[in-house]
Structure formats: structure tokens, C-alpha cells
């Protein structure tokens, strides 16, 4: 009986945990709301659209467009009316602000920056930095002033 109760509790917990996360559904280009596609094409006329997904998170629906503009990878999150909610774009390591580099090297002096993204939400700018350390990958979110917002070990993606 105890095993059954444990199994039921585990299944319920997993269901609730998965339900709280963002739900993502891949879309075809033809299924993108016209205001979203128009806003993307106007802002980034030379970008190549790689994929699109509809995401539901915290009761809001957004559309994520993954694109490539020259050598710059860019993920854009739009509301259905074409309003940009968030922009994530790859940047060269040389473009990382000094305060952000100092925060990373202060925490991981022997680490090597593997990837950097500039994340813009409204007027707020932060940087998602992936660092190779002797113990694996670390992902750090750092604001423009160098304050560490979030840090996850083993979560980095080498690309």
C-alpha cells in the first residue's frame, strides 16, 4: 500500500511541476499571426527565420521566432499584436561589457567564456554568459552593472 501511495504522490507532483512550466508548440510560418511576422520582417529584413513556437507561460501567449541575421543568432518573443517582449541575441565575447566580464572572471577566474547573449526585456538589458570551467559548464545571468542575477551549474549549452 505504501508503494502505491508513493507512486501516486510522485505522479501528481510530476504532473503539477510540468504544468507550471511554459508550454511550447512548434508552428509553421503560415501559422504565425500576421502582426508578429510583419514586426519581425520590418525589424530584421535580412534575417532568416529558422523556427517559430507558440508558448504559454503565466497565462500569456507569446510567439518565439528563432532567426539568423548574418552571423547573429536572435530569438525574439512577441505578443500576438506584434509587440516585442524579449530579444536574445548572440554577441561576440569582445562585446561583453567590462562590468559583466569582471563579474564572470571574479567568480570563475580560470573559466573560459564559451558563449554570450545579450537579453533585452523592455528597457532592461542583461547578459547570459556560458562559462567552461574545470568542472563543466556554468550559465550566469548578469545585469549590465555586473550584478549576478542567476547562476546554474551544468546548464550551459556549448554551441
Domain ranges of the chain: 22-90, 93-153
Torsion of CA 28, 34, 40, 41, to 10 degrees: 100
C-alpha cell belonging to residue 116: 554570450
Under 8 Å between Cβ of 73 and 64: no
Same fold yes or no, 22-90 and 93-153: yes
Q: What is the reported pLDDT for 22?
A: 57
Average pLDDT over residues 134-151: 94
Confidence at 144, pLDDT banded by 50, 70, 90? very high
Q: Which helix (H) or strand (E) holds 139?
A: strand 136-143
Average pLDDT over residues 83-108: 96
CATH level 3 topology of 93-153: Nuclear Transport Factor 2; Chain: A, (3.10.450)
Q: What is the CATH code for 22-90?
A: 3.10.450.360
Q: Is 3 exposed, middle or buried (0-12, 13-18, 19+ CB in 10 A)?
A: exposed
Average pLDDT over residues 129-142: 94
Mind listing the pLDDT tens digit for each residue in 20-47?
Answer: 445 889 999 899 999 999 999 999 999 9
Q: What is the reported pLDDT for 155?
A: 57
Query: DSSP letters along 26-75, please?
Result: EE-GGGS-HHHHHHHHHH-TTPEEEEEEEEEETTEEEEEEEEEETTEEEE
Average pLDDT over residues 6-15: 37
Q: What is the pTM of this model?
A: 0.77
Amino acid at each position: 500500500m505504501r508503494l502505491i501511495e508513493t507512486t501516486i504522490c510522485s505522479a501528481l507532483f510530476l504532473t503539477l511541476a510540468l504544468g507550471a512550466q511554459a508550454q511550447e508548440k512548434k508552428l509553421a510560418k503560415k501559422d504565425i499571426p500576421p502582426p508578429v511576422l510583419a514586426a519581425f520582417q520590418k525589424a530584421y529584413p535580412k534575417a532568416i527565420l529558422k523556427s517559430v513556437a507558440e508558448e504559454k507561460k503565466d497565462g500569456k501567449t507569446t510567439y518565439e521566432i528563432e532567426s539568423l541575421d548574418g552571423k547573429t543568432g536572435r530569438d525574439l518573443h512577441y505578443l500576438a499584436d506584434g509587440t516585442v517582449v524579449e530579444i536574445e541575441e548572440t554577441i561576440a565575447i569582445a562585446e561583453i561589457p567590462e562590468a559583466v566580464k569582471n563579474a564572470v572572471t571574479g567568480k570563475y577566474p580560470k573559466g573560459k567564456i564559451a558563449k554570450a547573449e545579450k537579453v533585452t526585456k523592455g528597457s532592461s538589458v542583461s547578459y547570459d554568459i556560458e562559462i567552461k570551467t574545470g568542472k563543466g559548464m556554468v550559465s550566469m545571468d548578469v545585469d549590465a552593472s555586473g550584478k549576478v542575477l542567476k547562476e546554474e551549474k551544468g546548464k550551459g549549452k556549448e554551441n
